[in-house]
Structure 1
C-alpha cells in the first residue's frame, strides 16, 4: 500500500447574494452570486491505495459511494489523469447537509485539492478547475484559491475578489433540509425569474457596507413560503443587530454577519441549531501526511 496521503479542512461557503437572471439556451438557470468561505468546515483525509476505492463519511449515513460528491470527485480526477488506481476518503462532517452551505461540494473540492497536492504529476490550476466543473456548480469556487469570488453562469465561472475583513457569523440551521432541484422548481412554477436583470458592478463588492446594500437572495421568498421559519430567522438576526442576514444558497440555513460578536445569542427554538464561526481570510492549505 502506498503511503501517500493528505488532509485539509473543507471550508463551508455562504452566498452573500444570489440572483437568478434567467435560463440559458441549454435549459440551465443563469445565476449571479457572491461566494464567501467560512472558518467552519469538514475534516477530509485522502489516502492512496494500491487497490480499491472507498469513502467513509462520519455523520452522513445511508448515502452510497457513487452518490457521494467526494467519491465522485476522486473518480473524476482519476479518470482525467490516470491516477490514482485506488483511494480511501475519510470525512468528519461539521457542515450540515441540505443547508445551502456547500457541504458536499466542499468535500469534493477538498478531495481534488488533496489529490492534486500529493499527485506525482499534478495538474495546473486552470486544468484542475476544469476538472472540478464536471463535479458540481459550487465545486470550482471551493477548489480555487479564492476566499471570496463573484460567480456567474451556473456558478462555475469565477472572478476572485479581495476578501473583506473577518467578521463574526452566526448560522441558524433548521431541522429540515431543502432540495436545490425543488427550490429551482418552485422558482419556475412561481414565475419569479426576472428578465433583463443587470449584473452587480464590482464597485459594490469592495466593502461590507456596499455588499450589505447589494445583498439579496431570489430563493428566500419561494422557499420561505413553504418554510416560514426562514423569514422568522432572518428577522430575528436583524433585530439582534446583524449587518447582513440572508438564507444561504437555496436554504435551509440562515446566516448573520455582525460587526462584533453579539453579547447574547439570539433565542432559537428547539428545532433550530445555532453555529458560530468567522468569515475566512485564507484558504486552508493541504497538509501532506507521512
Structure 2
C-alpha cells in the first residue's frame, strides 16, 4: 500500500479533479485553524444557538490527519497525547455521519497529529471534521458537493461549514450561512494561548442579559441570496463576482464574547497588552477564547514579536502565522 502525502496547495485539485493516481490509497491532509476578525452575537434562536455575524479567516497553523482505507472498522489514533479517539472526537463523528448519510460501511483508519490547541477559540475540531468530510467523500467515491457536505457538517459544529468554503468568509445564522470573502492585502498574525481550555458553551451561557435581547438584522435569512446580505457591515463590499471584499485597513476588530471570557480569565487582557506593546496593529480574542492574536503588516515584525513573547513568557504558546489566501482542502 502506498502512502501519498498531499501538500496543502495541491490537495484541492487532486480531491475534485480525479487526478490522484489510482495506486494512491491514503491521504494526508492539513486542517487549518481559524480566527474571528470580528464576532457579533445576538439573541438565542429557538434551537438554542445564538444568531451571530462574524468574519473568519483560516491561518497557517494546522492539524494533520492521515486517512488509510482498510477492510473493515472505523478507527482513530492520536499522535498527540491523551485526546479522545472515540465518538467524542469530531473526526469520528464526521466519518460516521457521512457513512450513515451515504448508506455505506467502508473501513477507514485515521491518524491525527494535533497541533491546534483544544478549547482555544481556533476551531480545530470543526476544521478536523470538515477535512474528514472532504477526504472521505473522495476516498469513498461519494461525489457530494460542497453544499451537501456543509449540510452534513453543520450538524457537527457551527464552524464546520466555514471550513468547507474558506479561506475567509462572512458567516451568519449559527454559522451555517456562509459567504466567501476576498481580502485586500496580506497580514501576519501572532497568536498567544495561555495553555488552558475555555468552554464555548460556558461562555455563551454567561453572556450579559442585554445581549440576549438584540435581534440580528439577518435573523430570518433563507439562503445566500441578495436579501441575506442587505445588512452586512459597512466595511464589507460586494464584488461583481458575488464574493465579499474586505480590506484589513477597514476592519474594526471586535468580539462580543470578550466581555465574558476576559473578566473570568484576566490573562486574556495581559496577553492583549503584550501584543500591543510588541507593535501589533490591533489585538483581539478569537472565538470564545482564550487565544488572542495581534495583527502585523510585515512578516519580520510578526516573527520578531513572537520571538520576544516566547522569551518573556515561556509558559505561553506563541505562533507567528499568516492569514491564508487559498483554502487547503
Residue 147 of structure 1 corresponds to 167
- Report whether the alignment pairs 1:172 with 2:172: no
Residue 274 of structure 1 corresponds to 318
Residue 238 of structure 1 corresponds to 276
Secondary structure of 2:328 counterpart: coil
1:203 Cα deviation from its structure 2 partner: 3.8
* Structure 2 length-normalised TM: 0.80
Residue 137 of structure 2 corresponds to 116
CA distance in 2, matches of 1:277, 1:83: 39
Given the superposition, is the C-alpha separation of residues 62 and 168 from structure 1 closer, same or farther in structure 2, using an over 3 Å criterion?
closer
- Report whether the alignment pairs 1:210 with 2:250: yes
**Which runs of 5 or more residues in structure 1 are unaligned?**
286-290
Is the Cα–Cα contact under 8 Å of residues 272 and 283 in structure 2 kept in the other structure?
yes
Given the superposition, is the C-alpha separation of residues 37 and 202 from structure 1 closer, same or farther in structure 2, using an over 3 Å criterion?
farther
**Which runs of 5 or more residues in structure 2 are unaligned?**
2-22, 218-230, 237-244
Given the superposition, is the C-alpha separation of residues 10 and 154 from structure 1 closer, same or farther in structure 2, using an over 3 Å criterion?
same
1:124 Cα deviation from its structure 2 partner: 1.7
CA distance in 2, matches of 1:158, 1:242: 29
Is the Cα–Cα contact under 8 Å of residues 3 and 47 in structure 1 kept in the other structure?
no
* Structure 1 length-normalised TM: 0.90
1:120 Cα deviation from its structure 2 partner: 2.1
**More deviation, 86-95/53-62:** 53-62
Which one of the candidate residues 224, 229, 238 is aligned to 2:267? 229
Residue 201 of structure 1 corresponds to 233
Given the superposition, is the C-alpha separation of residues 271 and 192 from structure 1 closer, same or farther in structure 2, using an over 3 Å criterion?
farther
Deviations 1:241-290 (A, max 9, x none): 212311101001101110113244443433311112111011124xxxxx
CA distance in 2, matches of 1:183, 1:251: 9
Given the superposition, is the C-alpha separation of residues 84 and 60 from structure 1 closer, same or farther in structure 2, using an over 3 Å criterion?
farther
Residue 56 of structure 1 corresponds to 77
Is the Cα–Cα contact under 8 Å of residues 14 and 36 in structure 1 kept in the other structure?
yes
CA RMSD of aligned residues (A): 2.1
The count of residues paired between Structure 1 and Structure 2 equals 281
Q: Which has the higher contact order (CA 8 A, sep 6+)?
A: 1
CA distance in 1, matches of 2:328, 2:121: 20
Which one of the candidate residues 251, 259, 262 is aligned to 2:289? 251
Residue 158 of structure 2 corresponds to 137
Which one of the candidate residues 54, 76, 83 is aligned to 1:33? 54
CA distance in 1, matches of 2:282, 2:235: 18
CA distance in 2, matches of 1:33, 1:91: 28
Residue 327 of structure 2 corresponds to 283
1:26 Cα deviation from its structure 2 partner: 2.7
